[in-house]
Amino acid sequence: MRWITLESHAGEAVQAGARRLTPLSSVVRLEIPGWHGGVIWNRPAAILVSEPDGQERLLPVRDKTRVAQLLILGAGMLGSWLIWLAFRRRKVK
């Protein structure tokens, strides 16, 4: 049994006028053997747009919240490092 599983899923297609829209999602699943349950993280990945003439386009979903979270995490780590540099004890010889 794998601990981490990565999957892609297509949702139920929706008719919007003449176009057919199909949502696509990514799933990360973490299961620890011997434990009941686990962690499942679903996020939207893209929308597949099917035109009446048969053409298909894939429109990616940009996750601005995740970008903001990573920027905040990076700023926190940088701030912690700068504080550590400012207040570390220096050896006197």
Separation CA 16–CA 59 (nearest Å): 15
pLDDT at residue 93, as a whole number: 64
The whole-angstrom distance between residue 67's C-alpha and the CA centroid of its chain comes to 9
For 48-91, the pLDDT digits (tens) are 999 999 999 999 999 888 899 999 999 999 999 999 998 887 76
Separation CA 80–CA 61 (nearest Å): 32
For 16-29, the pLDDT digits (tens) are 999 999 999 999 99
Question: Under 8 Å CB-to-CB from 43, ≥6 apart: which residues?
Answer: 25, 26, 63, 66
pLDDT at residue 1, as a whole number: 62
CA dihedral (17, 26, 62, 76) in degrees, to 10, reads 160
pLDDT at residue 90, as a whole number: 72
3-state secondary structure of 32: coil
Separation CA 85–CA 87 (nearest Å): 6
pTM of structure:
0.64
